[in-house]
Amino acid sequence: MVTGPSGVGKSTLIRRLRDSLPGVAFSISATTRAPRVGEQDGVDYHFLTPARFEELVSEGAFLEHAQVYERRYGTLIDPILSALDAGQSILLDIDLQGARNVRDHYVEVVRARSGVEATAPVLVYVLPPSIAALEQRLIARATDSAEIIATRMAKVEGQLEGVAEFDYLVVNDDLETASAAFTAVFMAELSRAGRRQSWVQKVGEELAGRR
């Protein structure tokens, strides 16, 4: 899971990672906010009406959902289970509240819905080099009004308070350095023996066949 304040560069880091590792799945969040210029439904977000979002909540379709900046966001369960069934790793771009919810309930939900014993999610927090730099990025992005930017900045302190709960911190000061660090975290986690039990089993079988 990838978390960080709006404008910190999460989407850019995720896009770079997926360009270099095309087999990585990405969980497309659902939201009630309107699309920004250039955004596509089903690619950037699942853009839903508040009524449809509420229907999905009632159906238990979300792994987690939350109210963020007067809009609703949620992570759908079925795409995650489909990726796991296909043997893929999956990335979630999610806010602090959602990350906490997924951290606390992910393993339980996957077990209940699919019968599979999932490993605990890995939490990565992307930090700005400074609060002032973050504000300048939001202004330069030119996708939000001054009022919305002020609202986002007012909530940054609350978003940053949970960084100690995360497994990894990536400071997005220089994009190339941050991208390298982000990819390194992902590759290190993929290489853990606990996530490569099929390979451990394969090696054991090959060794047994040579005896």
| CA R_g for the chain | 19
pLDDT tens track for 118-141: 788 999 999 998 988 888 888 888
Region 58-75 average pLDDT? 89
Total domains in the chain come to: 1
54: domain CATH number is 3.40.50.300
Q: What is the DSSP letter of 116?
A: -
The whole-angstrom separation of Cα 77 and Cα 75 is: 6
For 168, the domain range is 2-210
Provide the pLDDT for residue 52: 97
- Asked whether the predicted pLDDT for residue 114 surpasses 80, the reply is no
The whole-angstrom separation of Cα 71 and Cα 67 is: 6
User: Crossing angle of helices 146-154/131-141, nearest 10°?
Assistant: 150
Secondary structure element (H or E) that encloses residue 74, with its range: strand 71-76
- Asked whether the predicted pLDDT for residue 68 surpasses 80, the reply is no
What value does the mean pLDDT of the chain take? 87
pLDDT tens track for 89-111: 889 999 888 899 999 988 888 88
Q: What is the DSSP letter of 69?
A: T
Cα–Cα–Cα angle for 100, 117, 107, nearest 5°? 10
The whole-angstrom separation of Cα 133 and Cα 154 is: 15
Q: How far apart are the first and last CA of the chain?
A: 43
Q: Please give the full DSSP string across 126-191, using - where no structure is assigned.
A: EE-S-HHHHHHHHHHH--S-HHHHHHHHHTHHHHHTTGGGSSEEEE-SSHHHHHHHHHHHHHHHHT
Provide the pLDDT for residue 203: 65
pLDDT tens track for 18-66: 998 877 899 999 999 999 888 999 998 999 999 999 999 999 999 999 8
Q: By the 8 A CB rule, do 123 and 165 touch?
A: yes
The whole-angstrom separation of Cα 9 and Cα 200 is: 36
Provide the pLDDT for residue 196: 58
